[in-house]
Structure 1
């Protein structure tokens, strides 16, 4: 929290609302911190203007938004602040403390959708095939397997760590080596099958051959850490970051970058947007279409480098 924000006192109603979010809604601490700062901004604005927050009009709220614009805040930040304000006034209405929500019709400006960052094909292959630690074959097999599954099948990190060795009643996902596929549980509790390519199957078999050296006897998870239990998403991020640094990657590599790389490289090769949508588990094809922009970027670079008419005189 910024020093300026920490000097603004919350109202009793705002504290009660934040307690409601913490206890009833179980929001994460980071989200609660951001909502606290947003409500402090609102209180600071109202105090400076001599306004009563419980009688704030839509016109006055619009002036508050204009002040935020003047601070040159990013659209995403503005959207979060307005969401906190809107939620508070909605809660006040439920408590019978206000008659209308003055934030109801206020919206942050739309922001341009950033292109996902993807590795080049050569870099992705180099990361997968890099031998980081020959002195620890179990760790090496684990990291090779997780990279191949993230890049070879386009899994989310949550889907990766949720994989079990085999299907049982509480499985979020599981592998089916004989069918060269994995069953995963994606967003919205939607299940899908993803194929396992040759390199993924090879890495999987290499890991399964040594998994027993780490795994606890009763652990159903496919990927486990040295303590024998299911690997966490943070552990995957840490291991991937270390492997990428050791492999000399030109940029910070995180699990979702390998998912982006999977989608981008598959689209470059096949041009089949609908198939990429199915493999990624996107509910809406518009989410997948961002990769057509990434693919166009790649094609533009090829054109600039190779076509005679693209070369500058």
Structure 2
């Protein structure tokens, strides 16, 4: 019992955020606000356009509409809290609010990893096997892919969320991050989290390395197929594929680097910088691409 005297099961946490109230921070805050508005507007426009035009009711556009929906939820789960903290000067959040943000964030991150893999498969079939596309990407498959991505992401998020919220926290409850992320929470814990980190490493292989490897393999096949074509349409497909890979690397790279390292190697500045890519920046170019 004496070993638990300094353990804190708190009803709230303090989020230090991205910036203070200086002029430089105001400029950065304005940039984040503009990115947020652009992301929500662009992704909403994509969803409405695909829903309105019957010609776009195909798997090739059905999957991007779900990606846009996930991007809206993801950035809306994080940026409004950043805005509120900056404008109101209040950086506290309830224990329940912290848990909800962690759960939704992991759900969307995991679901989007699987959805990007599904989109790469759709891209691969459309270019490499166009005659078999209606069979391989029928209505059942195109519905199962986003539904399964969301469901698996939800189930995946239960364990890390429950584990993180049941940790005893020592001393300060201030989290040096701009949202409640599991690696940042682990650094505040009093107990040894080695076993959890090992489990997180295994789940990272399943949810990050395997989907990324499948995406990379599918785009290699796409590039090889397109390079054999001589038409101008093939050049456009090649150009589009490069942009797709840029977004995938910008999303998966920082995500893998953050979630598959031991907590002793994490630094607040580095974690915040990497998290900006897969939480704020990546959802912005997706609709344009």
Q: TM-score, normalised by structure 2?
A: 0.22
Higher relative CO (Cα under 8 Å, sequence separation at least 6) belongs to 2
Which has the larger Rg? 1
Give the helix-richer structure, 1 or 2: 2
